[in-house]
Structure 1
């Protein structure tokens, strides 16, 4: 289970003005983004046309992490703050802990897909305070630790306490998009809008205290990753504890259809002047364009979101080239995307 430095929850619960929540919501935007590069790296390492269920599940979670990032930015704007996306401090260093002192020793890197990474990293990131146990699964609950969900609940509680019914932020900065369902991404105009939106983030990530499903009757992230680890679908089973069991269809997995990415590839590892470096620079240029586009989207150009999401397609194409490219001087490895914040020349 991830643990958040308790000072962030204490800051939320002891805030006396909405302005004191601004840096906490900025951290929430950073946290939601920080999970996307590790998830995408694992997904990009799957060879095209193979391991389709793994690809579909990870892709669905990445889309929801982008949704959560957008919701957090909408709430920050609704309270009168300003999201900051296009700077080097926004991007975490991989491998390393995630934002807000999260970890309990967990170091998150950029690695190829494997069931070990799913279990030891991805499930750790998404684990709720008290994960539901299905069939033979046994996961220790660590109630003394603060989870991502508890952090959001603290912010939710303080918004409920301090905010007026109509929130003070510029309504024109609220981001909506046909890319996301209207009942998941909606304008945050009122206190209740903010409370409802935070519930979406919590339940999509962790499920509820009694069900692995979120408000849309879809498995929460933790249990989707657990499906991949177990290689079985989690399905409703009235005879099983908690009403579900890993007794559904098998999820096939072929490890040989995963590119052997060199873990935590950095631009500095590649020889100057080579095609490999050119491809990495092309990838990081697309990544910069994505972050720059999101910054503009969240700071007065909400109509830009659909175009920005389109940059993800460019990111995918350049990543696929990288993942299939042999790593110079490292036999048996290919190049992984580095997700480094590098401002292109002339920008």
Structure 2
């Protein structure tokens, strides 16, 4: 599983002021974002019109990672902090560890879809401390490394302890959108709002303490990815130990309908002045616009979210064109999106 340095949890549990949670919530925003490029790369590698169930499941998880990123930004704003999205160090280096994900050596890259990547990378990122069971965290029993869910739980506990019932941040900065259900993305005005919102992040990623489902009866991310790996739907089963089994409908997968992306493509690998490089620059220009738009959205212009989400469509179209382009000098491969932080000229 993806394990983070427990120092981050210790900092949360020993905080004496809400301001001490600001850098931790900033790390949470960075962590939620950092999973999106690997998931999108796998999804973009699926040839259009093929492997629809793989595409649907990954897309649903990406949307929820965007939701979690927005929730974390809302909480930081509610505590009177300021989210930072438009800096180069916001984007991790791929391949490499995710933010705070340094405990078990998990290296995350930008690769084509495969059951191996689902099992060895995506499920590792999303796995709870123990699948199905989520335990409370305390400073006395803190191990060297801990899970993402425990990190969020520690922040939740400290907000409960330190925050007033009505949170001090500017309420006008709270982001809501018709793009997300109102019971999942809502204004964080009170301490209870913050606690409830963190529960959404934990349960959508890991499930509840007794079920693979979140509070909206949707499978948590870990179990959705496990469906893809096992190739069958997880369904209720009264004969199974935990009430569920992978005995539902088969999820078909056609490997031939996956573009053979060169792993971890970089702009520097493409010939100067080439159409391939121009297309990659176009992609990274859209990616920068997305991050810059999110920064503006989370820092006083919440009405900008829907326009920013629209940039995702441009990103998708360019990525699909890239994924179908043969990689110059690398026979048998096509070009993967690089998700590099490159500020376009004139920006």
TM-score by length of 1: 0.96
Name 1:136's counterpart in structure 2.
none
Please state how far the C-alpha of 1:101 moved relative to its aligned partner: 4.0
Name 2:138's counterpart in structure 1.
none
Name 2:45's counterpart in structure 1.
45
Name 1:232's counterpart in structure 2.
232
Deviations 1:62-81 (A, max 9, x none): 00000000000000000000
Name 1:329's counterpart in structure 2.
329
Name 2:306's counterpart in structure 1.
306
Asked if structure 2 preserves the Cα contact closer than 8 Å seen for 1:74 and 1:298, the reply is: yes
**Is 1:2 aligned with 2:21?**
no
SS at match of 1:98: coil
| Distance in 2 (alpha carbons) for counterparts of 1:168 and 1:84 | 19
Name 1:260's counterpart in structure 2.
260
Name 2:207's counterpart in structure 1.
207
Please state how far the C-alpha of 1:6 moved relative to its aligned partner: 1.1
Name 1:276's counterpart in structure 2.
276
SS at match of 1:146: strand
Please state how far the C-alpha of 1:102 moved relative to its aligned partner: 3.3
Name 2:63's counterpart in structure 1.
63
Name 1:290's counterpart in structure 2.
290
Q: CA RMSD in A?
A: 1.2
SS at match of 1:329: coil
Asked if structure 1 preserves the Cα contact closer than 8 Å seen for 2:132 and 2:207, the reply is: no
Asked if structure 1 preserves the Cα contact closer than 8 Å seen for 2:98 and 2:108, the reply is: yes
1:1-347 aligned at under 5 Å gives the runs 1-132=1-132, 145-347=145-347
| Distance in 2 (alpha carbons) for counterparts of 1:303 and 1:175 | 7
Give the unaligned 5+ runs of structure 2: 134-142
SS at match of 1:59: helix
Give the total of aligned pairs.
Answer: 339
| Distance in 1 (alpha carbons) for counterparts of 2:109 and 2:272 | 24
| Distance in 1 (alpha carbons) for counterparts of 2:295 and 2:53 | 32
Please state how far the C-alpha of 1:225 moved relative to its aligned partner: 0.1
Asked if structure 2 preserves the Cα contact closer than 8 Å seen for 1:130 and 1:209, the reply is: no
Asked if structure 2 preserves the Cα contact closer than 8 Å seen for 1:232 and 1:251, the reply is: yes
TM-score by length of 2: 0.96
Please state how far the C-alpha of 1:50 moved relative to its aligned partner: 0.2
| Distance in 2 (alpha carbons) for counterparts of 1:298 and 1:215 | 26
Asked if structure 2 preserves the Cα contact closer than 8 Å seen for 1:68 and 1:201, the reply is: yes
| Distance in 2 (alpha carbons) for counterparts of 1:249 and 1:296 | 43
Asked if structure 1 preserves the Cα contact closer than 8 Å seen for 2:6 and 2:144, the reply is: no
Q: Which runs of 4+ in 1 moved over 2 A?
A: none
| Distance in 2 (alpha carbons) for counterparts of 1:148 and 1:263 | 26
SS at match of 1:251: coil
Please state how far the C-alpha of 1:343 moved relative to its aligned partner: 0.1
Task: Pick closer, same or farther for the CA change 1:264–1:103 going to 2, 3 Å.
Answer: farther
- Structure 1 window deviating more from structure 2 (337-346 vs 93-102): it is 93-102
Asked if structure 1 preserves the Cα contact closer than 8 Å seen for 2:5 and 2:144, the reply is: no
